[in-house]
Structure formats: C-alpha cells, structure tokens
Homo-oligomer: A and B are copies of this chain.
Amino acid sequence: MASDARMTAHGATLTSTSTRHDPWLDQYAERTRGLSSSAVRALFAVASRPEVVSLAGGMPFVSALPMDAIAETTARLIRERGHVALQYGSGQGDPALREQILEVLAPVGVESHPDDIIVTAGSQMALDLVVRVFCDPGDVVLVEAPTYITALSVFSSYQCEVVHVPMDELGLNPDALREAIARVRAEGKKLKLVYSIPSFQNPGGVTQTPERRQEILDIVSTNGVLLLEDDPYGLLSFDGSVPRAIRADDSQAVIYLGTFSKTIAAGLRVGWAVAPHGVREKLVLANETAMLCPSNLTQMMITDYLATSPWLDQVKVFRELYRERRDALIDSLENHMPPGTSWTVPTGGFYSWVDLPPGVDSTAMLPRAVAARVAYVPGTGFFADGQGRHSLRLSYCYPEPDRIAEGVRRLADVVHAELDMLDLFGPAIEASQKTAAIAPASDMA
C-alpha cells in the first residue's frame, strides 16, 4: 500500500513500451516500483532544443569560469601528480581538500574538523548516503512544502514516508514543524530526519531569517530529531551577506551538506557532508560500499583551484551574474503575467516559485508552453503528495537576461491563453486536467 501511494504521489505516470516487455519485471526490489520514466522527461528532451527558452533546469552558468587558468593548473596537476590524481583515493576524500573545505565553510559560520568531513560525488551522493545510513522502509522524513525534487527521489528510493511541512515567507514554518513532529510520533511512526534548505530554497526561493533558524534548531534539538541542512546556494546571496548555517550553532543535531557545483563546477561532482563524528564514520563506510572513493583528480582540481585562484572573487562574479538574471526574471514577471499570478523574489540562489491564477494547472499547461518555446518545472514535482498543481518553478541561472525576458513573455502568453480557455469552458477544463503528479528528469532540477 505504501508503495502504491508513492507511485501515484511522486513516481511517474507513464511506463514505456520496452519496460512492458522487460523479462525481469517481477524481479525488481520493492524500492524500484516507484522508479519509472515520466511524461515530463520526454517533454524536456524537446525543451532542450535551442529555440526553447528553458527556465526549467538548475544548471549553473559555468561559462563564466576562468577556463584557461583551470586548464593550465589541471595540466600541471596531471604532469606532476598524475600518479596520485589518476589513482584510487580515500573513501573519506582527499585530506588536503577536507582542510580547505573548513575555509569554504567559514563564511557560513561552520567550524569543524577535517575528520568530521566526508567528500562525496556531489552533495546529491551525500544526501543519498545519509538516507541510506538512517532510513528503513516506512521511516518518516519531514520536508519543506515544496522541496528539492531529487531529494524526494532519494526518500522514495529508500521507501521513506515523506511528510510535507508548510513554509511561509521566512521558510519552514516552526509551528507547522512542531505539529508535524507531534503528529508523526502520535501515529507511532519513526521520525528520522527533518530535511531543510534554509538559504535561497529550491524551489521556493525563500530564506530563513536568523531567528527562524534558531527556532528550528530549538525544535529539532528539543525533540531529538536529526536536521539535514542542505546548503548548495548559501554563498550566492545577491547582497553579499552570507546567511549563517544552522549547523554553525550545533554540531550534534545537524548534518550539513555542501557542494562545489554552484560555486566552482558541477561537472567535477564534488560535494561534502559535515556530520557528527559517529555518523561520519558510517557515511565513509557507506561511501566506500557505493563507489569506493570519489575521484582523486576532480578533488585535486578543486584543491588547486581554491589554493591558486581568487575563488571568492569568482563567487562574486556569479552573484552579480545571477542577480542580474533574477532582476530580468522579476521585471518580466511584473510586466507580463496576468493578475492573480504571484511569485517569490529570491535574495540569492537560482529559483523563483510562481503561483498561477486560480484554475490554471501547471502540468497540463506544460506541453502548450513547450510548443510556445518556453519550459519550466511544474509544481507537482516538488511534492510527494500531489500538491503543487497550480504552481511552477522558474530558474534564471542559465539563460542570458534577454532570453529570460523573452521566455517570460512567452510563458505569460501561454498563461493568458489558459485563462481564456477557462473563461470559455469554465471549471470543466480544470476537472479534466486533473492528472497525477509528475516528476521531471532529476538532472533538470
């Protein structure tokens, strides 16, 4: 039953023809039942055509990196230390990099020890390992409503029960969090993790204030629940003021996930977790089991980059670039979207969350948007329980500002057309649009 619920709530709707003839279909594990290709995935294949403005993907704008400098240091690295860079490494990650991660953590206020850091193949892998280490089937994870799509895939993959906790304009709502903890425990369920993205939340675009963070920390500490703090965008604030991580104020109640994907390069697949010591030990063993070790080469590339480049200056370049794009998005939304549409104005990060006028269904609208050469991620993908039909996520990280403006114009036209349809045919349209929740391809989100 739990597995069926997951399928409708968060898995996808279409099964491809080839899967129907899969001779091993009755051999898969229970956890695999929630895994199948979605209709949205096929749409995104179309959306990747150059004529489509994609406001869907969360790809950082890596072209702004100093390619020549990276090329040169990488070549020297391979010439001089190739016998290490091209060899197996440590399951916990390169010791030199773990030292440097402490410096990268300084702006968010996190103090730790290299021994309590584990390097992973992107912070996605760290997230997967944390859930692997903590969650049995049926264990409950509390997440923001909405939350990061591929975190939902991880929770589903380990057969967790996902319970959404509402957010307000300051992020995760403390009263709702207290209620959810009490309710889950009253139901006799095992609560394992609270998963939160406090800064420039994906997909909500909201950021917890310092007071809000303190209150959330108090709640998890008082209740003895582990907080999984995911912080990929922390350094990418538009006014340069970096939000203090929740982990900065408690080393035992929080596992902190960080990544170089947004500040350096996603293609290197290097992220990390800072975890209480006993947990870190388990994570290293799980990392070794899953992939032996992360790539020495890409870790050492980051080590060299941090040591030889003005990397914080480069982060400033990214901040300016993304701020300009955020402005382009918000200005265009203000100028073109019909009344009844609302959106968050992010102060950092990659995303804005848009609530459509009543009656407009973002999943049903997507094929028409792609036909109009603009793509977004429908809201239902960010929920495990079917919410989000009237919302969508727009990302402004990758396209140039004028393309963003053009994309929003196209999107506004599509929304206007949806409203005209609703005027003509009324709520019958809305009822016929009731489709199951559909998750997009995870690499798009």
Contact = CB atoms under 8 A, between A and B. Distances in A.
A55 to B, nearest CB: 16
Contacts of A35: 133, 282, 285-286, 289
A86 B62 CA distance: 7
Which 5 pairs, one residue from A and one from B, show the smallest C-beta to C-beta distance? A22-B278, A86-B265, A75-B75, A71-B78, A267-B296
A97 to B, nearest CB: 14
Contacts of A125: 290-291
A402 to B, nearest CB: 19
B79 A292 contact: no
Interface in A264-295: 265-269, 276-279, 281-282, 285-286, 288-295
Interface residues of A, number: 91
A432 interface: no
Interface stretch (A88-96, A104-112, A210-218): A88-96
A252 interface: yes
A167 to B, nearest CB: 24
Nearest to A128: B290
A85 interface: yes
B122 A292 contact: yes
Given A62-B87, A71-B78, A292 B442 contact: yes
Nearest to A34: B285
Interface string A102-137: 000000000000000000011011001000111110
Given A35-B286, A128-B291, 19 more contacts: A23-B278, A24-B276, A29-B133, A29-B158, A32-B134, A32-B286, A62-B82, A65-B86, A67-B83, A71-B75, A88-B266, A91-B442, A122-B292, A132-B157, A156-B289, A267-B295, A269-B294, A292-B443, A293-B443
B59 A82 contact: no
B59 A88 contact: yes
Given A86-B267, A281-B16, A443 B288 contact: yes
A219 interface: no
Nearest to A159: B136
A51 interface: no
B154 A289 contact: yes
A150 interface: yes
B281 A37 contact: yes
B71 A83 contact: no
Nearest to A21: B278
A134 B25 CA distance: 10
A298 B124 CA distance: 18
Nearest to A131: B29
Contacts of A277: 18, 22
Nearest to A58: B88
A303 interface: no
